[in-house]
Structure 1
Amino acid sequence: MSPQFQLILQQAIKAFQCGNLDGAQLILKKALQEDLDSANTIFELGLFFAQKNKLDEALIIFQCLQLYIKGNEKIPYNLGLIYSIQENHLDALNAYDLALKIKPDDVDTLVNKGSTLIDAKDYASALVVLNNAILLRPNIPEAWSNKGVALNKLKRYEEAITSFEKALSLKPDYAEAWSNKGVALNKLKRYEEAITSFEKALSLKPDYAEAWSNKGVA
C-alpha cells in the first residue's frame, strides 16, 4: 500500500468516524478513480464495518466499489446481505440477482436470496431458489432449513418436516431448525412431538423467545 493511498484511507476512516458519510464516499470514489488496485483494501474495510454492524458505512463502501468493479460477485453479494438486514428486500434481491448474473452457481448467494424471498413472503419463488442451491450443494444445512420454512408457509408440513430433518442430520445443534420442525409438527396436531422439538431447540438456545412461545401454543 503506497503512502499516498494510506493517507487517503485514513481520511476516509476519519470521515466515517465523524459521521461524515458523504465526505467518506467522495474520498473513496476518488481513490478508486485514481487506482483500481486499491479496491481489495477498500473491500476489506467494507467487511470490517459490516462485521462491526456499522451497516451504513459498509453500504457506502460496497456501493462505491460497485460503481468501478463490475466482475466481482462478492460486491453485490455483500450489498444484498446488508439490504437484507435492513429489511430492504427489493434492493437485496436486485443485488443477489446481479451477483448471480456474474456467478450463477454461487450457492451462498442462492441461499441468502431464498431467505430474502421468504422475508418478502414470496414462498414459491424461495422454494425454487433453495432447491437450486441444494442441487448444487446438498450438504448445506441452511438451505434445507430455509426450504423447510418455505414449505411451512406453503402449508406443506410433511415435506417441511423432512427438510428440517435433513438440515438437522447435517447440523444437529441447529436450534432454529428444531423450532421450525416443531411448528410443522404442531400444525399436524402432533403436539407431544412438537413440544419435544421445541424443548430441543431451547436446550440449545435457552433465550429463544419464539421457541418458548411455540412450545406454549403446543
Structure 2
Amino acid sequence: MGETLKAVDGVADGLALEADAFGGQGATVCLWSARRRALVCPANLRRKPGFDAARQQAAARGWPVYLRPTGGGAVPQGPGVLNLALAFNAGRTFTIEDGYRLLTQIIRDAIPADWTTGATPNSFCDGAWNLALSGRKVVGTAQRLRPIGGGRRRVLAHAMIMTDGDVATGAAAVGAFHHDLGLGPIEAGVHTTLSEMLPALAEQMSGVAASLEDAALREIMRATADEASAPS
C-alpha cells in the first residue's frame, strides 16, 4: 500500500496510532488499514445495558469489538477500509463543525467526485457529515476535541473511507451488534465503496493515500493559520 498508508495487523494497532497522535503536540496525519476485521464503536456505548453480552456475541461471530474516543456509532474495520485521522491544536474559535468541514474538504480535494454531504438513513455510524456518492455512503466521520489550556484545544478528526471489498458482510456484523443492543437496523445497500463508484481508483490506493496526506497537511496549515490571524 505504500509508506503513507500503514497496513497494521489489527484494529488495536491502528487505534494506538491515533491515540499517540492525539496525545502529541504537533499536527499529525495518520492513514491506516487493518488486516484483520473487527468492529469499532465509541467508548460511551459501553454504558448501554447489555453491552458486555453484545460484545461477547460479536466476538463469537468473528467480529471483536474495540472502543474509540471519538463519537458516532459502531463501524466495521478491516481490509477494504482506509482510515484517515488528523490530530492538531486549534484555537478558541475552532468549532466541531469547522473540524468536519476541514475533514470533508480534504477528501473532496484528494478524491475529486460528485460528493454529497449529509445523513444516510440506516447506514452504520450515520451522521450529518457522511460523504456519499449517488446517495450511497462511502465515508463516515467522527471527532473529539480536548481542552489543552489557554483557550486552545486538541482536535482528533477521523474519517472511515470504504475503498473496496464486501460492504454487506460488515454491515451485517454491525446490524447484528445493533440488534443485540436494541439499536436500529442497518441496511447494506445504502453503502458503497470507492472502487465500485470510481473504478479507476481500484488499483491506486497508495496514490489516494498520498493525495489524502497532502490535502490534510495543506488544510490543517490553512485552518491553523486562520485561527492565528482571527481576532481574540
User: Higher helix proportion, which one?
Assistant: 1
Normalising by structure 2, we get a TM-score of 0.24
Higher RCO structure, 1 or 2 (CA under 8 Å, sep 6+)? 2
Pick the structure with greater CA Rg. Answer: 1
User: Higher strand proportion, which one?
Assistant: 2
